[in-house]
A and B are shown apart, each in its own frame.
Chain A
């Protein structure tokens, strides 16, 4: 890496890749356990889309870094402290309603971010974002429709997704927090994190209202994921995700 701009780009690509790798892995835990066959397949599809996006972002990160690390090296041979995902995506799945609420909060943001990144100065980054944005548009339609049905469903489903919304809300502050990396990338055409918040709020508020749910009050927001300060859940997730690659170095499957 030559300068701070390239270092920032590397860091930024790790963030994009890690958010999607960790959330994709979490969703993959539903495989074979979905509430019905069709939804099991739907969740696995979204998981594969996210892991595919992560592959592209991490591959590009490795190229920008120029130290010979490919996407597998970055995925399997970094520890939790080197992961740059927001803490929202590493939280355990909980029940289906909680998984769906987490997914919706993420998807509604991801669409806006990827849409903006299509206009980034870096052509490869813009290209990956353009492809991923189409996938994200489907993801938010899927998770949003489920929030509507669970929120405006039975008394029990309403209670469960409202609880999930209340518990996950304090993890949404990280979506819009900005540091030096974001400021350098904004200079290269990436969206300013804070600029995405009004659009995200509009989408989330609309679905929450129509789902007869209540937006949680403003309060404490967790932070630290972008700097490698994670919940205890990420280490367990990585242990399961990385053990094969670490136990059998160079294994192909």
Chain B
């Protein structure tokens, strides 16, 4: 099997995660990833691959190796406990009488 990107001996350039912002004030959202040898080329590749049809006003690139991710086995302890706690959503609470809702 070929060595994964970022590993010594790989013939692939390092991988970068791309985040694009659709308009001013909107959050940067994950768009995908690109290979690139350095930050400037990563930025250009991200622009050329993910923002060439007017999708973005701003783009971030982050080395994929810098992303810290939860692992599949974290899923139970991390996320399942939230399933039965609807009171953590604001919609759980009724609006008190006398409060005007616009």
Tell me, yes or no, whether A38 is within 8 Å of chain B by CB. Answer: yes
B40→A42 contact, CB < 8 A: no
Tell me, yes or no, whether A137 is within 8 Å of chain B by CB. Answer: no
B40→A38 contact, CB < 8 A: no
**Which of the residues B13, B34, B44, B52 comes within 8 Å of A142, measured between beta carbons?**
B44
Bound complex: CA of A141 vs CA of B44, how far in Å? 9
**Which of the residues B35, B40, B47 comes within 8 Å of A36, measured between beta carbons?**
B35
B48→A38 contact, CB < 8 A: yes
Q: Which of B37, B38, B41 has the most CB of A within 10 A?
A: B41
Interface residues of B in 38-68 (CB under 8 A from A): 38, 40-41, 44-45, 47-49, 52
Interface residues of B in 13-32 (CB under 8 A from A): 13
> Chain B: interface residue count, which band?
10 to 19
- Inside 8 A of B41's CB, which chain A residues have their CB? 145, 149
B44→A36 contact, CB < 8 A: no
Interface residues of B in 48-95 (CB under 8 A from A): 48-49, 52
Q: How far is the CB of B40 from chain A (nearest CB, A)?
A: 6
Interface residues of A in 32-53 (CB under 8 A from B): 36-39, 41-42, 45
B37→A38 contact, CB < 8 A: no
A38→B52 contact, CB < 8 A: no
**Which of the residues A38, A42, A145, A149 comes within 8 Å of B35, measured between beta carbons?**
A38
Bound complex: CA of A71 vs CA of B12, how far in Å? 42
Q: How far is the CB of B6 from chain A (nearest CB, A)?
A: 16
Bound complex: CA of A45 vs CA of B47, how far in Å? 10
A36→B13 contact, CB < 8 A: yes
Closest to B37 in A: A149
B48→A45 contact, CB < 8 A: yes
B52→A45 contact, CB < 8 A: yes
Closest to A148 in B: B40
Closest to B12 in A: A36
- Inside 8 A of B37's CB, which chain A residues have their CB? 149
A41→B35 contact, CB < 8 A: no
**Which of the residues B13, B38, B45 comes within 8 Å of A42, measured between beta carbons?**
B45
Bound complex: CA of A37 vs CA of B49, how far in Å? 9
Q: Which of B35, B48, B49 has the most CB of A within 10 A?
A: B48
- Inside 8 A of B47's CB, which chain A residues have their CB? 138
Q: How far is the CB of B30 from chain A (nearest CB, A)?
A: 17
Contact mask for chain A residues 130-143; partner B; CB cutoff 8 A; 1 contact, 0 none? 00000000100110
Bound complex: CA of A142 vs CA of B43, how far in Å? 10
Top 4 A-B residue pairs of the complex, sorted by shortest distance between their CB atoms: A38-B45, A42-B48, A38-B34, A41-B48
Some 5 contacts from A to B, beta carbons below 8 A apart, are: A38-B35, A38-B45, A38-B48, A42-B44, A149-B41
**Which B residues are within 8 Å of any A CB, using their own CB?**
13, 34-38, 40-41, 44-45, 47-49, 52
